[in-house]
Structure 1
């Protein structure tokens, strides 16, 4: 038996013990770590081997190490980890065979073709970095990773939506519309047969080889169901997800997907990559709300990335109950590149180590989620970082005051109807 397989068998044993041991709920508080788009950390062009002034993947490893050091099994309070997609940056083929058979065609795109040119460095640099990062979590905590558009095998400009003759900075659609296809790369690292998930008792279901997945974790006296959906999930994914909700009736449910909400809290796609417009088999964010989220009363929280920035909205589902929807994506933040002397016509996004920590207080008179934003690079919360607004506000939300901008990354959500929907006696850990 190889050293690699012995490590994973040991991790699986640890995970089994953790999943079946009684929960030490203490004060009813626990944290979910939310890892936004990490593509720029592992991007092969952001490493010293390509002439970049530092290895950005070190920042990625630092982020995952911080999470690993603070999971419950290590004495911390992180009970679950969810990654929002776009784990890596580049693709390996021009178009996947399925889309080619269905008649999809590429359009030439002078501005984007070089950026999305297939490269084997995805497999030699970016995917190994991603695998190494999540190895730090293996066997220590239940976690989910969903595919973002960059994690697909191919991404091309769709011939039905070619670029305009002249790019208009005020109209991103003038760049043409990208479309992704193929998930062999993603499945090879995060599929349901990967050592991360195969045989883990908390990884309870999967669809499309793990492109969609479900996990159960216990925290704060409750059992929670988490469902991860692929990019612009097609009907088959939504039907599968509905079956999982039915299989685990009454469990408070969190849904993570990559594309769902923009930074103005609108459930609309980015005009540069509108999955439903390019392929009617895929669902738009609003369609996912209408067809799935709003129709299942167990779902109380939705998490997403993809759109650069942050936002939150709360809507009433078909049963009259609240669903909180939260966006976080920090891939455009490039203060670390500026500090290293990188000069570019366009901002060089890295991520600067920022991630979300969502701390649930289930013992409060009204259960709450305290949402904080923390940089593992600067080792500071957003509210405690003096230059936070100066670094990021102009690019992300220039219309806000500094105080309001801070409030976008440090706020609380009141779960006012949680106990009504999920009586603790029915869902407490036994």
Structure 2
């Protein structure tokens, strides 16, 4: 955090624009002089190498700190660069641990955090791949303080850990043209000459670029000086331009600040997801670097407290998430607390948590009450999740590969008895009128004909080009139906279709692609079948537990209880039904659903994952009264009682069980 006057102090702080009692403070007077430089991609800086100091020649303060440093075993740096879950560790403002000119140095907390980072690089649940320090490594910029910082960071160097650093206002003075400083000699580009993740620095050495590998792709970290000049921004723009398909995380010391006071919880004073504002330096950075570079999706800074975050739209109309994290005002100057950004590309989410490894490493029984309170920091500004559709967010510079449509002939596996798809038959948005035929591409003669409930709107059933990304046919049917009163259009097999009499005694596989609209309503649209077999349970002589005598003999539906997929059917071997339940399906997402029966048991799959309900109940075949199948409708007591609401894509029925590798979604 920046402070008033020539003497660093965290107590002398004043208000700014009435936002809070602490305000937004900017200037510090710290010494600095002379420089050498490297350009983009150059890993060297002229000057002394940054190596760990010999403890035997350390100052008394350094020896004191070294004597208290934990010598616990440190693990191995071994992150998985391909796993879809990885973690970026962020360490803000550790300045109060390094105040060497005033004999106030303690490396122990930071080294414990570094050990945690190294050890959890190999933990699949964490998979820490990189650590970014946000500046203010020292309080006084004194060479003796940087000697101790050097020793702490040597722990990362010895284990080959990937990290970046940058200068804060307590490490340097002025802007990045300042020349030589203890910071540059200790933490400048020369330190990273053997680092695999180091890309290079600008001519001043104060702005650096790093690339780490995670989730099977490259990620660029820009670590910019606390006061970057136009030449620094020009260099940063060139680095981004040189890596046009790489997502960028921008780190600097001073970008956004939180306008609420640090003794008021943000959820009491406003929105915890939008409680930070751009300060003058941050606005300059936005104008000169962030706004026009769509690759920058996340910015991280320290300097101010309390923590906060906001989201802004860049010139491309995409979100840039801007976060501030700083704990120097907490117990033990924050104790080298770290924030963990857990990227989960499978879930399209970044889960954020804040922990103190130094306290977590202590015996819980021996922790002071204050330490125990700071082992983990929770609350809406310290523990939260950021939803990001990574493919969509990065599509402007990393186009998402579109899986091409596959010909129907390629999907006609052995035993296919019906295959309906909706591509190439009508322009998107145009209606299917009553009597329109959709051919069965299996060649078995199970064609479908459009039927319309009297009084239904003309556009209740339309062609659509919307589809599941792994669906063979790039089209679907859009049903606008419901109940009370019953309305909509649906399709039916003919009275003589071979599928009507099929009982599948030897097993079967039924696959369908389904998407629910945002206006789907449980009362109006729940328990609607997208595929069902006509004929009531009573007419087939079915009875016993869970039997509804008026329901159809087979129904693949979306229930009104949480939008769950359900396959309810009456097998040949019993008088009451077997029901396979899925889980809740969110709207506006395509789902691939499959029911597989091996001749004895039935299992439901949602997106290729088996569900828990009733996979072991004996269930042989499907009972038939020789009546038609319905696509997009459900009958009760022999009459249509509801029409489906949503999109239905390809549907395939096979007279044998299929494995996952044979599903319509298989690669």
> Which position in structure 1 is the counterpart of 2:165?
145
Alignment of 1:377 onto 2:358:
yes
Offset of residue 414 of structure 1: 1.1
Offset, 1:329: 0.7
State the superposition RMSD in angstroms.
Answer: 3.4
Displacement, 1:406?
Answer: 0.9
CA–CA separation in structure 2 for the residues paired with 1:243 and 1:179: 17
Look up the match of 2:97. 41
Report if the CA contact (8 A) 1:63-1:353 is conserved: yes
- Number of aligned positions between the proteins: 302
Could you tell me whether the CA contact under 8 Å between 1:30 and 1:219 is conserved in 2?
Answer: yes
Per the alignment, residue 29 of structure 1 pairs with 85
Match of 2:549 in 1: none
Partner of 1:133: 152
Out of 330, 346, 351, the residue aligned to residue 334 of structure 2 is 351
Question: Match for residue 345 of structure 1?
Answer: none
2: CA distance between counterparts of 1:391 and 1:181? 41
Based on CA coordinates, which of the two structures has the bigger radius of gyration? 2
Q: Secondary structure of 1:360's match?
A: strand
User: Which structure is richer in relative contact order (CA contacts within 8 A, separation 6 or more)?
Assistant: 1
* Partner Cα separation in structure 2 for residue 179 and residue 224 of structure 1: 24
Q: Is the 8 A contact 1:63 1:376 kept in 2?
A: yes
Aligned residue runs from structure 1 range 93-112, under 5 A: none
Q: CA deviation at 1:71?
A: 2.3
Matched, 1:205 2:200: yes
Tell me how far 1:378 sits from its aligned partner.
Answer: 2.5
Q: Is the 8 A contact 1:183 1:211 kept in 2?
A: no
- Residue 82, structure 1, aligned to residue 77, structure 2: no
1:128 deviates by: 1.5
Distance 1:202 1:238, change over 3 A: same
Shift of 1:57: 2.7
Change (3 A) 1:180 1:297: closer
Instruction: Give 1:35 deviation, angstroms.
Output: 0.6
1:57–1:424 distance in 2 versus 1, CA, 3 Å: farther
SS at match of 1:295: coil
Match of 1:108 in 2: none
Alignment partner for residue 267 of structure 1, among 250, 263, 278?
Answer: 278
Q: In the TM superposition, what is the alpha-carbon distance from 1:413 to its structure 2 partner? A: 0.8
Once the two structures are superposed, residues 162-202 of structure 1 have per-residue CA deviations (whole angstroms, 9 ceiling, x without a partner) of: xxxxxxxxxxxxxxxx99955521111111123xx114332
8 A contact 1:69–1:76 mirrored in 2: no
2:245 aligns with one of 244, 247, 250: 250
TM-score (ref. length: structure 2) = 0.42
**Partner of residue 411 from structure 1, selected from 381, 384, 393:** 384
Q: Render the CA deviation track for 1:215-267: whole Å, top value 9, x for unaligned.
A: 11110122111111101211111010000000010211111000111123111
Q: Matched residues in 2 for 1:223 and 1:333: separation? A: 35
**Higher-strand-fraction structure:** 2
CA distance in 1, matches of 2:242, 2:168: 26
Is contact 1:312–1:325 with CA below 8 Å preserved after alignment?
Answer: yes
Cross-structure match for 1:68: 118
User: Which segments of 5 or more consecutive residues in structure 2 lack a partner in the other structure?
Assistant: 1-48, 53-76, 260-275, 362-366, 403-667
**Distance apart, 1:363 and its partner CA:** 1.5
Classify the secondary structure of the residue corresponding to 1:318: coil
* d(CA) in 2 for partners of 1:187, 1:30: 30
Question: Once the 2 structures are TM-superposed, how far is the Cα of residue 30 of structure 1 from its aligned partner?
Answer: 0.4
1:79–1:218 Cα contact (<8 Å) kept: yes
Matched residue, 2:310: 313
Gaps of 5+ in 1: 6-17, 92-121, 156-177, 270-283, 337-349, 393-402
- CA separation of 1:72 and 1:425: change in aligned 2, threshold 3 A: farther
SS of the equivalent of 1:418 reads: helix
Is 1:368 the equivalent of 2:329?
no
1:293 to 2:290 alignment: yes
TM-score, normalised by the number of residues in structure 1: 0.63
Aligned pairs for 1:388-403 (under 5 A) are none
Is the helix fraction higher in 1 or 2? Answer: 1
